[in-house]
Structure 1
Amino acid sequence: MTASPALRDAARPFSPSAVTDLLPPRTRVLALGEPTHGVEAFLDLRNELFRHLVAEHGYRSIAVESDCLAALGIDAYLGGADGDLDTVVREGFGHGFGDFPGNRELVRWMREFNSGVAESERLRLYGADGPLEMTAAAPPGPSLLRLHEFLAAHLRPELLPPREELTRLHGPDARWTEPAAALDPARSVGRTDEAVQLRLLADELTTLLAASAPQLAGEAEPEKYWQAGLHARTATGLLRYHAAMAGAGPDRFNSLMRQRDLMMADNLDAIVRREAERGPTLVFAHNRHLQREAGRIRLGAHDLLWWSAGSLLATRLGDGYAFVATAFGHRGADDHPAPDTLEGLLATLPEPRLTVDPRLLAAATEGRAKARVPADHTYFGLDPEALELVDGVVFVREIPRQSGPFGG
């Protein structure tokens, strides 16, 4: 099939400047989505774009779809802390993402950049995700105790619940990390009497942190104050997530998706506010997390529907939020897009990588493009009906077939 002139006009060979040309002028968050995990081509695109954003547009931070607590170790390394690069990357990325060379290269380059600049200009890396994995969620106790420790160093002791009470109510970490709880709510401790009481105490501590902000912001070390807020969000978010895991109603899986994306949105919101004086932030995560529309996934017999982190953040930031989706054409020898999908039409263009104006793409394909039916559960195609909610599209013509949970 030959590409139409209108389709050719909608696309340019990929370059970072071609992407930034599509962004609203008041962008504070550039959300770059990936259509599936585990593809080095998208990590390379992200790294190339981030280097351009740092050099030409004043970006000084990146947030990735990874454990927000584990990422603290990476950021400390970027700031000059001792460590072995491979170990830092392996331990600092959740979901097994530390195994990907593109993430190693990102951290290597950021540390090298930081070695030659003032502290105020150094690059930071954040984890946007909660400490969650496919079949387990972290226990809330460690973050709750870190929050308590911070507050105890600055506030009168009678304002705080006893640390021993938090430890007693929480119990062993293994109670919270039971893998079987992902599918069996009866195996979760998230709605026990102890968990409910712990959730109330976590709310009290979080309220104390917020209500004491004038004092704490003035006397605490900025990094410790930032981390206290992170631990407050993490502890309360995990307690909500564990309560959702213990729910037995028909909305259980929807609730889990809502809780995860709300945690991501709250983390990103805090990151944007922290970085406001230093520059905009690049965010990198799955398209489904960053899109402006609601997320939809078919999971067994369940049709899941929830508001994505991107939709929540876009509601809060307005035109300060920009979303660029990525997509691919061929994956390996057996996964080819149908010719009447957006991916199939873009694959008729000869360039290996394209930057696409979604408005021109919508006009060029109006009435003749369908949503791609994925070959497996790891990919979600571009929706022709949602192009008006996208600020840009980056298209990679061909990628290899992944192995493992991201495309086996």
Structure 2
Amino acid sequence: MLVQRLGAPSDFDPLLARVADARIVMLGEATHGTYDYYRLREQLTRRLVAECGFSFVAVEGDWPDCDRVHRSVTAARHGAADPLAALERFERWPTWMWANAEVARFCRWLRAWNVDRSEGRRTGFHGLDVYSLWESMQAIFDYLGEEDPASLEAAQEAYRCFEPYGKRPEEYGLASRFVSARCEEEVIRLLSRTREQASLDGPDRFAAWQNAEVVAGAERYYRAMVSGGGESWNVRDVHMADTLDRLLERYGTGSRAVVWAHNTHVGDARATDMADAGLVNLGQVARERHGDDAVVLVGFGSYRGGVVAAPRWGSAAEAMTAPPARPGSLEHRLHELLPERAVLVFGGADQPGWVTGTVDHRAIGVVYDPTLEAQSNYVPTRLGERYDAFVWCDETTALHPLPALTAPGELETYPAGM
């Protein structure tokens, strides 16, 4: 194991050496609202793009919202001249995950980087998640209305199937348990037509296909969600893995991806108690599909500090203070052993017990109650198996959200708010 103190972007050199031959690098976060994670992730990603030629950044966000950002950062047709304008249009709660000053700074840098390059060499920005059912439906209507009116009927049939449940697709999931309310056939027809269009070249056709995949994934997700258990979590993470693979294929042979998501999605689930519950995640599926050598998983963690989260689902975000990590946890151990900032790169036979054994590792979602810290928010983890590397921040500060109009977000399953 190698330990490198972090003070400047150049201190990531040992980690960049580890990812030299990787096709996929996943960069995690222990919360969705910590400035330090986003800032260090930004610094590392800039180097991956500029020095290693990574093709796109894929985030735990909605495809339609992130597609507006993608059009801006790649200076594409109809894209905003300033990525900030695209980020300010994020409406689904929790908006602060991506509509924040830290992501805006990175996206402005990415646009400046891209405009000096030919269109085929520009680095993209995409969303992997499954929640944007209605937004994706609208995007499909907009595309088909202009490009393929003959296929519009399939989209309208799918829309009519979901329409009785308003803008709350979890009500569709609930209804599908008791009556024959399922929209599978309509969604399959929609997906088939948009796949046919996507076989023709063009970014608009690919975006329409991906939006149809989101509609299909969302239909499965909301049916699974109301049944309880972990199946909806698995539907979501496999959807993200499938989206990542479509993007790699779209960008072509030799393409490389940076992924930004919570540790619970990035770190291999097989090295946690998630596996005991029958759960899989994005990092695990990527390793299984592409091989351990082609995938580098990087976790993030801290001992204490500021975080943006909400006290209840759908409520306003607040700047909170995460208390010191509980005794015996990974974070408490690293607080005693490491400097203020460090990166750990795992490997070799000489690894301490807290890397090879099982320790409690903190995870904070978008819903958080610091007073319950001692009873929750920890995932039993074999650190050296869950990640290939780990970025340590002893004390952190809160993220800086952009002003945003917020619409209620859909409910999520275990782990809540990750």
Q: 1:329: which partner in 2?
A: 303
CA distance change for structure 1 residues 342 and 297 in 2, over 3 Å: closer, same or farther?
A: closer
- Corresponding residue for residue 3 of structure 1: none
The aligned counterpart of 2:84 is 86
Map Cα deviations across residues 123-144 of structure 1 (whole Å, 9 max, x no partner): 2100111235xxxx64774366
The one of 285, 288, 293 aligned to 1:315: 288
**Match 1:225 to one of 205, 212, 218:** 205
Report Cα offsets for 1:184-240 as digits up to 9, x if no partner. x688344576742x3112213423554x47xx53xx441122112202211111111
Counterpart of 1:57 in structure 2 is: 52
CA distance in structure 1 between the partners assigned to 2:400 and 2:191 by the alignment: 42
Query: TM-score normalized by structure 1?
Result: 0.77
Match of 2:260 among 284, 288, 296: 284
SS of residue in 1 equivalent to 2:279: strand
Q: Provide the residue aligned with 1:243 in structure 2.
A: 223
Matched residue, 1:188: 174
- Relative to structure 1, the CA distance from residue 360 to residue 336 in structure 2 (aligned partners, 3 Å threshold; closer, same or farther) is farther
Q: Which runs of 5+ in 1 are unaligned?
A: 1-8
| C-alpha contact (below 8 Å) 1:342/1:369 kept by paired residues | no
* TM-score (normalizing by structure 2): 0.75
Q: Indicate if the aligned counterparts of 1:190 and 1:244 stay in contact, CA closer than 8 A.
A: no
1:366-381 to structure 2, matched below 5 A, reads: 370-372=359-361, 375=373, 379-380=377-378
Aligned to 1:6: none
Q: Secondary structure at the match of 2:206?
A: helix
Q: Residue in 2 aligned with 1:5?
A: none
Question: Quick check: 1:306 aligned with 2:303?
Answer: no
State the 4+ residue runs in structure 1 displaced beyond 6 angstroms.
295-298, 401-407
1:121 is aligned to 121
Is contact 2:22-2:294 (8 Å) kept? yes
1:330 Cα deviation from its structure 2 partner: 2.7
Alignment of 1:7-406 (within 5 A): 10-14=2-6, 15-23=11-19, 25-80=20-75, 81-92=79-90, 95-96=94-95, 97-131=97-131, 138=134, 141-142=137-138, 145=141, 152=148, 164-171=156-163, 175-178=165-168, 181=170, 188-190=174-176, 195-196=181-182, 198-210=183-195, 212=196, 217=199, 220-247=200-227, 252-277=228-253, 279-294=255-270, 305-318=278-291, 319-331=293-305, 335-338=323-326, 340-349=328-337, 351-359=339-347, 363-365=351-353, 370-372=359-361, 375=373, 379-380=377-378, 383=381, 385-400=382-397
Give the SS at the match of 1:354.
Answer: strand
Deviation at 1:268, TM superposition (A): 1.2
Question: What SS does structure 2 have at the residue aligned with 1:34?
Answer: coil
Aligned Cα RMSD in Å? 3.7
Deviation at 1:42, TM superposition (A): 0.6
Q: How many residue pairs end up in the alignment? A: 369
Q: Determine the structure 1 residue equivalent to 2:405.
A: none
Kindly name which structure, 1 or 2, has the bigger radius of gyration based on alpha carbons.
Answer: 1
| Contact 1:338–1:372, Cα closer than 8 Å, also in 2 | no
Is the contact between residue 33 and residue 398 of structure 2 (CA under 8 Å) also seen in structure 1?
A: no
Determine if contact 1:340/1:368 at 8 Å carries over to the other structure: no
CA shift in 2, pair 1:63/1:93, >3 Å: farther
Q: Distance in 1 between matches of 2:22 and 2:297?
A: 10
> In the aligned structure 2, how far is the partner of 1:234 from the partner of 1:186?
16
| Overall identity of the aligned pairs, in % | 20
Compare 229-238 and 352-361 and name the one that shifted more.
352-361
Give the conservation status (yes or no) of the 8 Å contact 2:326–2:374.
no
Q: Is the 8 A contact 2:29 2:299 kept in 1?
A: yes
C-alpha deviation, 1:256, in angstroms: 1.9
**CA shift for structure 1 position 284:** 0.6
C-alpha spacing 1:72/1:378, structure 2 compared with 1 (3 Å)? farther
Contact 2:155 2:190 in 1 (8 A): no
The residue matched to 2:360 in structure 1 has which SS? coil
Instruction: Mark the runs of 5 or more structure 2 residues left unpaired by the alignment.
Output: 307-320, 364-372, 402-408, 410-415
Cα distance change of structure 1 residues 277 and 373 upon mapping to structure 2, 3 Å threshold: closer
